[in-house]
Amino acid sequence: MASASRDAPPAPVRRLDYRPPAFLVDAIDLRFDLDPERTRVTASFTFRRNPATGADALAPLVLDGEQQHDVGIALDGVPLPAARYRLTERTLVVLDPPERGELTVSSTIHPAANVALEGLYVSSGVFCTQCEAEGFRRITYFPDRPDVLAVYTVTLVADRERYPVLLSNGNRVGTGDAGNGRHFVRWHDPFPKPSYLFALVAGNLAALADSFTTASGRRVALEIWSTPANLDRCDHAMRSLKRAMRWDEERFGREYDLDTFMIFCADDFNMGAMENKGLNIFNSRLVLARPDTATDDDYLAIEGVVGHEYFHNWSGNRVTCRDWFQLSLKEGLTVFRDQEFSSDMNSRAVERIAAVTFLRSAQFAEDAGPMAHPVRPDEYIEINNFYTTTVYEKGAEVIRMQHALLGPERFRDGIDLYFARHDGEAVTCDDFVQALQDASGVDLGQFRRWYSQAGTPIVRARGAYDAARRTYTLDLEQETPPTPGQPHKEPFHIPLAIGLLDAAGTDLPLTLEGERGRGPTTRVLSLTERRASFVFTGIGARPVPSLNRGFSAPVRMETDCTDADLAFLAANDSDPVNRWEAAQRIYCTSVFTAMQAAAAGAPLPDDPAIGALIAGIVADERADPALRALAITPPDFAYLAGLAATIDVDAMVAAREHVVRTVARAARDPLLRCYESLRVQEPYAPTPAQVGARLLANRCLRYLCSLDDPAAIALATAQFDSADNMTDAIAALVAVNHTTSPAREALFARFESRWRDEPLVLDKWFALQATAMRADTLPRVRSLLGHPRFNARNPNRIRSLVASFALANWPAFHVSDGEGYAFVAEQTIALDRVNPQVAAVLAGAFNQWRRHAEPRRSLQQRALERIGETPGLSPDVAEIVARNLAG
């Protein structure tokens, strides 16, 4: 395998350097003679000079290609003389090409040796592919860029015994015998697509089959392919797929377009899932579910991701990205679509709070670190590093804000226009916004800054009540902190949904000065300037403001709300997201007060307010259990760290644990009563009612066990013993995970012996031990690397053990002697030689290093330097380290 290129990191790619392709490809015919050791690939394609590139009229035909051997080239059926082309590490350049012609390139690749899992590789004896973003160039020579769209015909030839099932994109158009015990299957995909959507799968597989009839009456065959042993865990994914297909027709008017839709689940997969046209490839953890092996969270994630990949058929495949800087064009829009799908299938408020929690913990941290970038980035060295929470989750928030500004009907008109105008094209984020603007008449000019400016805006709000004039004036101010390469920010167009509550907790009509009649009780204010005032009239007494309702804008709010206002909102706000947010703010205040005491070496104060608040929420049996569970969940370390000026890990960990225990003591009886009243008696089903009840009961159990109280630990043990589902079994382990009770060891041992042959279940066991807040966690993690079921080449195992430790265990990763940092640096270096994409995820654990207090700041810097000094580092890891150490 070629490796020389790793010593010379490629130069950054810049958005403004985009040039249309010099040549277009209309159709490609691919033949694979599959063999794990040596697969021969023959690609024949028709090319023609792109009429849109006047200035580049003499440009050669440049094809991308890496790690291929024994290359043979023919032009219009005649072998090409060596003088007519140049072969480099990364390209094949045809010199002086004709205006149009047919090029045939044959080459040999080594799928079994492909441990980076990009391109064609072998996973548990099955051939599969991952081409987004730039994996196709490891399969054959081609213009591997999303703006070259071609019609694919693919012939797969393989040993009939070992690989009876041969799948690719589109429709099956031929099968037959290929001699020597081999057979072939031919596939044709009539929809032109970019190379990143190519896929093939070959192996000894079984399918769960079903069908779906589209709104216009076409019957589509649905197939979920897996190893035969896993077939009994595919039903939930199939049900989710059918729901997603119906929902996309009803909500967005989008129908499926091929005769067959297939999903294959792979054991070894770098990402979650991939939307290849007609043949989605999934990480098996996002397909396989049975009540005894998968948790409620797994069930919800499967439904959401099956929907997400399916929705890409329109938002990504039929209309795709011009270049990789436009990644959010497909990802932000499709995350928005999958969030809406999950909200319609489950509880909208619960889905929204989950999305906001994730955004604030992960994406706000990204905005505050060296990897901060706009939703549409301006440059990258390795595009794999830009599949980020900014592109995905903030990208979805940017779509959601446009939905808020246009309203649902005009938004739908805009989306319809976007699909109609650009079907079959590769376009930009600007094209998307333009379609919304043209269809709605709403000016989105200033709004486009959300695509070009990085950073989390801060919105400061101050309210003043004037009893004589019966007015309430809301002063708003926005400011966005500098991010790398963007020292000054222009104001954003921020849609801020607000409400005002009277003393009884009732929403007041919101009528702005100069308006007639009664306004609505929630309205979206457009904040477009750095400062603006909004005057509401007809307000009879001082109201309590409910700001950024539904988290209408991805901003940090700073308000002048008093503790009493927050407690009032937590109890009364008609907006469930802000009710939750008020409780979170009270929780954060309590933690920060304790943190100040911890930092000063003073005894930590017991805050009676937080205990009373949580006790009240737990006891409120009229409220939705899922929302109560979210309201009593302590803010996570990542979110708390984002609120601190400097991160003092010791004080933060001590303070948060102290507040959790304060709550557990103050609310012990209501927690226990709630736990006992909520145990689900019916057979397991992932319905919103059951999921909510389990969530709240298990949150209560976690509080109860936080005191290391033997009675509570006995409850967890009893729950583990009687659990008929993975959700309750895992929750029992979670509850005792941080304790030093001997019962913990016993439960973990029993879980291991029960599930040691189920890799996806054992991943949960690895992850819990990696996230245990215990003094012995690091030595445990080190010894688990040698566990017979741990495989350092499998991304799911790495994520469950090493990435969980690095990214989700604040006390252990940040242990003050720097041992956690040294371990993660060592693991990053070792993994980089195997799988750079996943190694870069580990390196990202240091992204906040500059925000830490000493000595952790210097210790993390040294760990980064140690990674950076390693010879032969991949561009993936090198880019993360360089951005961290720059400036």
Residue 334 or residue 552: which is nearer to Zn ion going by CB? 334
**For residue 269, what are the contacts with CB-CB under 8 A and spacing of at least 6?**
117, 123, 130, 281, 282, 283, 284, 795, 796
- For residue 109, the cross-strand partners are 39
- Is the dihedral angle over the CA atoms 713, 717, 722, 726 positive or is it negative? positive
Residue 69: burial class (beta carbons within 10 Å; 0-12, 13-18, 19+): exposed
Residue 119 or residue 395: which is nearer to Zn ion going by CB? 395
| Dist CA 833 CA 851 (whole Å) | 30
Residue 331 or residue 340: which is nearer to Zn ion going by CB? 331
The residue among 450, 449, 452, 454 whose CA lies nearest residue 369 is 454
Residue 316 or residue 611: which is nearer to Zn ion going by CB? 316
| Dist CA 398 CA 392 (whole Å) | 10
CB of 274 to Zn ion, least distance (A): 8
In the chain, the N- to C-terminal Cα span, in Å, equals: 36
The beta-strand segments (E) located in 307-415 are 320-321, 379-380
**For residue 270, what are the contacts with CB-CB under 8 A and spacing of at least 6?**
117, 118, 130, 795, 835, 837, 838
CB of 272 to Zn ion, least distance (A): 8
Contact indicator for 216, 170 with CB cutoff of 8 Å: no
DSSP output for 270-333? SSSEE--TTEEEEEGGGT---TTT--HHHHHHHHHHHHHHHHTTTBTTTBEESSGGGHHHHHHH
Residue 272 or residue 519: which is nearer to Zn ion going by CB? 272
CB of 676 to Zn ion, least distance (A): 42
Q: Which of residues 223-242 bind Zn ion (CB under 5 A)?
A: none
∠ CA 22-23-28, rounded to 5°: 155
Residue 322 or residue 852: which is nearer to Zn ion going by CB? 322
Residue 334 or residue 548: which is nearer to Zn ion going by CB? 334
CB of 364 to Zn ion, least distance (A): 21
| Dist CA 33 CA 36 (whole Å) | 10
| Dist CA 190 CA 76 (whole Å) | 24
Number of residues interacting with Zn ion: please give it, by CB under 5 A.
2
Contact indicator for 191, 318 with CB cutoff of 8 Å: yes
CB of 299 to Zn ion, least distance (A): 20
CB of 279 to Zn ion, least distance (A): 15
CB of 746 to Zn ion, least distance (A): 42
Residue 331 or residue 832: which is nearer to Zn ion going by CB? 331
The beta-strand segments (E) located in 563-688 are none
Contact indicator for 405, 442 with CB cutoff of 8 Å: yes
Residue 303 or residue 331: which is nearer to Zn ion going by CB? 331
Catalytic residue check, 309: yes
DSSP output for 417-486? HHHHHHTT-EE-HHHHHHHHHHHH----TGGGHHHH--S--EEEEEEEEETTTTEEEEEEEEE---BTTB
Q: Which of residues 311-350 bind Zn ion (CB under 5 A)?
A: 331, 334
Beta strand 206-213 pairing with 219-226: antiparallel
CB of 404 to Zn ion, least distance (A): 22
| Dist CA 330 CA 327 (whole Å) | 6
Catalytic residue among 132, 134, 303, 309: 309
Packed helices 649-666 and 608-619: angle between N→C axes, nearest 10 degrees: 50
CB of 312 to Zn ion, least distance (A): 6
Residues belonging to the active site: 309
Binding site for Zn ion (CB under 5 A): 331, 334
